[in-house]
Structure 1
């Protein structure tokens, strides 16, 4: 049956000389895999150019519940980015976030709230100029709510440490090593006060940004299992100096 849905492109692997298998996070069916035949062929109705990291798409798909791989009848860009492809700070963050989402988004179930968060966050990045060097930090922090391990804000103002294992602020150093120290805890708590309209107020320095990102990724590894190495991370650090 042919269905229509919006989607966010995550990743693709080459299937043959002219075909791809793409991972796309869809509005109505969660994360799904699609085979796109002849995408590099001259007569293809679906062009490879639309399958770029975190591009926002309108899809017509041949979908059948229970199948591991579906097919795409047609795909077009629903919101053409005006700045992300041309701003290396933005495009590098999008490349990194696409890698994170590819590893983290595993559910083949509808989650409209999560889809809307992803969609609106990406359009926000495209339209925003001030404070964009810390956008990925804000995004990863907000994403934890949808992934099921959002930090508890309770006691954040009066505690000096954040326990990454329990996702709670504590008054004494935990007996393990997976926590933020006093300085990092102050930086971390600032994320609670930042929403999509105030990202420019998140003015971490380069050094602070690296410290917070390191702990956020450790937080992800603890609660989602070993996600492996993020290949785009070093490029991200180099660009956002």
Structure 2
């Protein structure tokens, strides 16, 4: 069956001399693996540079549900990013978020609301000028709502700690190590009330940003046992330490 859908590139692997296996999160079919023929020729219709982390694509594919790997007939970047590929900070964040999404988006079924959230967030990020250093924090926090483990940051008149095991702010420091310290918990509350257009208003130190990033990854790891080590996290920390 020949189908058309929108997609978000997660990652790809070379397959022989002239092909790749590309994992794409699609609007119509969830996560899918596709075989794609590519060429280094200047006249080639499809080149591997359209398969960068989190690039948005339109594709036409041969879809057969009994197959683990589908085959792409046509693919193109749509919409085309204006800044992400050329901005080292944005491209590094995209690489990090692509790894997180690749490890958490496993379902081969349509989830149009989550797809639209990811797509619209990336389009905003591409054109944003203010607050871009905090985009990945906002994105990871908001994504938990669609994945089903959004932190409960409501407090009842007390200063608290975010307990990652219970998923809520508690009035006492947990006895286990899976919690956010008080300052990070307060910032988590700020993220909860922040709209994407307001990211530029979030004032956060470099050290706290790094701490929050690592702790959010740890929170994801508690909910996805297979997530394992996030290799791009080190690169992200290095970029923000410059």
Which range, TM-score by smaller chain? over 0.9
CA–CA distance in 2 between the matches of 1:184 and 1:114?
Answer: 26
User: How far apart, CA to CA, are the structure 2 residues paired with 1:213 and 1:49?
Assistant: 28
Q: Secondary structure at the match of 2:196?
A: coil
Aligned 8 A contact 2:81 2:126 in 1: yes
Quote the offset at 1:46 in angstroms: 2.7
Q: Deviations along 1:4-31, whole A, 9 cap, x unmatched? A: 0000000011110111001000000000
- CA deviation after TM superposition for structure 1 residue 155, in Å: 2.2
Q: Which residue of 2 aligns with 1:158?
A: 158
**1:138 alignment partner in structure 2:** 138
1:86 corresponds to 2:79: no
4+ runs deviating over 3 angstroms? 41-45
Q: 2:13 is paired with a residue of what secondary structure?
A: strand
- Alignment correspondent of 2:214: 214
Written as runs of structure 1 = structure 2, the 5 A alignment for 1:20-39 is 20-37=20-37, 39=38
> Gaps spanning 5+ residues in structure 2: where?
none
Contact 1:156 1:169 in 2 (8 A): no
Say whether the 8 Å CA contact 2:153–2:162 is kept in structure 1.
Answer: no
Greater alpha carbon shift after TM alignment, 185-194 vs 148-157: 148-157
Quote how far apart the aligned CAs of 1:157 are: 5.5
Distance 2:181 2:49 in 1: 45
CA deviations on 1:71-114 (whole Å, 9 max, x unpaired) are 00000011111111111111110011111111111010100001
SS of aligned partner of 2:228: coil
Q: Deviations for 1:100-133, whole angstroms, at most 9, x for unmatched residues?
A: 1111110101000010011001101111010101
Distance 1:188 1:234, change over 3 A: same
Contact 1:46 1:73 in 2 (8 A): no
Q: 1:129 matched to which residue of 2?
A: 129
Per the alignment, residue 201 of structure 2 pairs with 201
1:29-76 deviation per Cα after TM superposition (whole angstroms, max 9, x unaligned): 000000112x12547543222111100000001011232110000000
Task: Count residues in correspondence.
Answer: 240
> In 2, distance between residues paired with 1:147 and 1:73?
31
Structure 1 position 180, deviation (Å)? 1.4
Tell me the TM-score normalized by structure 1: 0.95
In structure 2, C-alpha distance between the alignment counterparts of 1:121 and 1:156, rounded to whole Å: 31
What CA distance in whole angstroms lies between the structure 2 residues aligned with 1:159 and 1:166? 17
TM-score by length of structure 2 reads: 0.95
Q: Is the 2:163–2:169 Cα contact (8 Å) retained in structure 1?
A: yes
